[in-house]
Structure formats: structure tokens, C-alpha cells
Structure 1
Amino acid sequence: MPETPLQPVIETRTLGPVETNCFLLTVPEGEDPTGCYVIDCGMQPDPLIQLIRERELEPRGLLLTHCHYDHIGGIEELFEAFGPLPTRVHPIEADWNRDPMLNLSGMSGWPCVAPQPDLRYEDGAALDLLGCAFEVLHLPGHSPGSVGLLDRSGGTLIAGDTLFAGSIGRVDFPTSNPEHMKLTLRRLLELPDETVVHPGHGPATTIGTERVENPFLLDLDRVY
């Protein structure tokens, strides 16, 4: 019989002034049960740091869905707590952490200059996260380098600021692109209905729920 794929445990902490969802990924049944990955560390990451310490976990890396300030503002604090971590981002946004205009902190009132990511990932890349296979999906629209992290075997998508419960990511920023967002949403609609979506803001949902309830998916012309 084929081996049952390992199932990751994804825990959410909602952090910072704009309530950004940050994720801690562990695989308790895997070969590295004390390892973890942080996905989007947000701003004011103390609760996330405390959780990692309480569990006596060892971060193996930081994965960024995109480089807006509310998703990267706590990187320096995270690194102060655990040392510099290998950090992945889509190459389009490789320089955004140090540019307050691109990461939007310059227009937010919280100017942010964060450590630069040292690793890249492209659309379709396979990631081995503690023994679990994830696929990188390039999902531009909200920002040009937005990505999702898809566990096909477990039916889980960490979606960043692309798809929310009942809504979608904003496309009115200087580097947003509504037409790209429409293509991204069409791509997400190709996923199975049972796929659980962990968004960058708000509660988790499923592709099936959003397919029938999300006004932006029901009428993509609303995306502008």
C-alpha cells in the first residue's frame, strides 16, 4: 500500500494593527518534529515568537506570500529571537523589503525597512517543508509577486492576500493589477471545492464556499 502523505499542522496567529494572519507550520509525525516554518511573520510578532518558544520549536525558515509591510514588518524581531532564517520570496519582490514605497509602509504611517530575503521561488516550484510537499503558485494581482503555498495531498492553500472569505485582496495599490487578479481568481477556481484556504486576513474558508458565496468570484467584472 502507498504511504499516507504526512499532514502538516498549520496554526494561525493574527498580528499587528491591520490584523494580518501569520502561520506556523509543523509536522509532528514527521522526521523533524521540533522543526517549524513561519509563513508571513506580520508586524508585532511577539505572540508568534512566544508560541515557538513555548513549544520548544526550531524555525527552519521564513516563507513570504508577498512583501507588503503588514506581512514583513516583524522580520527583524523574528531574527533577533532566533537568528537570521532562510527567507523565500518571489523574485519580482526581492527588493521590496527595503523600499518603503514598494512595501507600502511609506503610505501607511509605519515606515518599514526589513531584512532582505535570500532565497527565491517561482511558479510551480516544489517545496519540501518538513517532509510535506508544497507547490508554489504565482498569484499576481494584489501585488506582482504574490504567491500561494498549496499542499495538494492535504487540500490546503496558504493564499496570502489573494482570496478572502467573502472578498479578495485589494487591487487599488500602485503595484496592483486588476486584470492579473482576475486571472489569479480563475486559477484558484480550478482547485477542488474542498481545498481549505488560509488567507492573509480574516477567517479560513474553502474554495467551494467562495465559489458560491463570494461576490467577486460570482462576477469577476467586480474586480477593478
Structure 2
Amino acid sequence: MKITKITSDKLGSNTYIVETDEGIIVIDPSVSIELITDVAKKAKKKIQYALITHGHFDHCCTAAALQKQGVKILMSAEDYSMFEKGYDLSRFFGGNFQKFVPDMFISEGKYNLIGLEVEVIETPGHTKGGLCFVIGNELFSGDTIFEMAVGRSDLPTGNSDQLGNSIKKLFDLRKNYRILPGHGENTTIDKERKGNPYVSEL
């Protein structure tokens, strides 16, 4: 498994491209379609799925373009409902959000995608339907937790109590996963459990 990280210059959000022998999964497509497909072309692999951690514009603004190319979009039903209410935050980023209908709604559990076991962990708090994804030794955390920081809970559908419970849920995982967050640099479960200054405030 190979992981390529691309950070959006405009939005500051991280897009992850996960490659196996069987194809590619994109997590939180927020950079240009050209940047994403360029990685796929160089790898000579087909992009088969895009997984969305939550329904904010800066984490799924390229999903519609990928879907038009045959990529299947997976996200939670709870966060898809945010689009209808205008809670996707596109107006704050000044972006033109091309909305989409996911090909599949996913919830907590394990899924087999391109030969990988993808564990979906429900982590509400930043948004009502926020998800984290565990693939191998990696935890893709979206905006639930960052390096020495946590996600905001004061946006529509956010809830600080739920966010605290979700982070505790991640800390209870029995493995020291490497955290690949929606913004910023990578970290680990152990590092955040021991030193994240915001966790005690939740």
C-alpha cells in the first residue's frame, strides 16, 4: 500500500491517495481533479472509490468531478443531509460547490475495498456524521483530531460532548495508529493521548 498526500494551497486541507495493486482510493478529495488523476496516471491505476470523512466543502469539493469519471463516492448519510441545509460551508470558502449524491452510505463497520480492509469508525462532534477510516496502520481522522489540536465543534451539527467522546473512542483503540489528519501534519494515537492540550478540555 502506498499513500500520497496532497495539501490544498487554497483550503489547507489534506487529500490522501491510497494505492494498491487493485486500484486507488481517494480520501477527502479537496484538491483539483488534475492533481488527483495525475497521481493515478503515473501509477497506472484506476481510481475506484472516494471516502469522505465529513460533509464540509474543504473535504469533498472534488467528489462530483471524480464521480463523473466513474469513481464511487462513500460517506455517511448524516453528513450528506447537511448539503440540503447549506451546512457544507462552501459560502465561507467562496467556492462553487458541485453537489453530488453518494453511491453508498457507510456507517461503523468493516468494508473490503480494492483488496483493503477499511474500518469505518463513527466519530461525531465536528459534524454529526463524521467518520474516521482505519486502513492498515493508518488512521485517517478528518477534522476529529489533529497534531496537538482537535476539531471545532461550534459549526452546524457540531457538538463538543460528542467530539470528546469520539476522541476518547480513538484513544481506546488498542494500536498506536499513525494519524493522517484533514489538516496539518501526521501524528500518532500515543502522542495525542499523552500530550494533546485540548483533550482535557472536552
CA distance change for structure 1 residues 193 and 166 in 2, over 3 Å: closer, same or farther?
Answer: farther
Identify the structure with bigger relative contact order (alpha carbons < 8 Å, sequence gap 6+): 2
Distance 1:188 1:89 in 2: 19
RMSD between aligned residues: 1.8
Aligned length: 202
Alpha-carbon distance, 1:193 to partner: 5.5
> Aligned residue for 2:141?
159
CA distance change for structure 1 residues 205 and 138 in 2, over 3 Å: closer, same or farther?
Answer: same
Alpha-carbon distance, 1:174 to partner: 2.1
Which structure 1 residue ranges, 5 or more long, are not aligned? 1-7
TM-score, normalised with respect to structure 2: 0.92
In the alignment, is residue 176 of structure 1 matched against residue 144 of structure 2? no
Alpha-carbon distance, 1:57 to partner: 1.4
User: Does the CA contact (< 8 Å) of 1:139 and 1:184 recur in 2?
Assistant: yes
Distance 1:160 1:36 in 2: 19
> Aligned residue for 2:24?
36
Amino acid at match of 1:52: A
> Aligned residue for 1:84?
70
User: Does the CA contact (< 8 Å) of 2:16 and 2:27 recur in 1?
Assistant: yes
Of 20, 37, 59, 1:27 maps to: 20
User: Does the CA contact (< 8 Å) of 1:21 and 1:200 recur in 2?
Assistant: yes
Following TM superposition, where does structure 1 have runs of at least 4 consecutive aligned residues deviating by more than 6 angstroms?
none
Which structure 2 residue ranges, 5 or more long, are not aligned? none
Of 40, 52, 74, 1:64 maps to: 52
Calculate percent identity across the aligned residue pairs: 26
Return the index of the structure with the highest Cα Rg. Answer: 1
Alpha-carbon distance, 1:113 to partner: 3.2
Distance 2:66 2:106 in 1: 21
User: Does the CA contact (< 8 Å) of 1:21 and 1:42 recur in 2?
Assistant: yes
Alpha-carbon distance, 1:12 to partner: 1.0
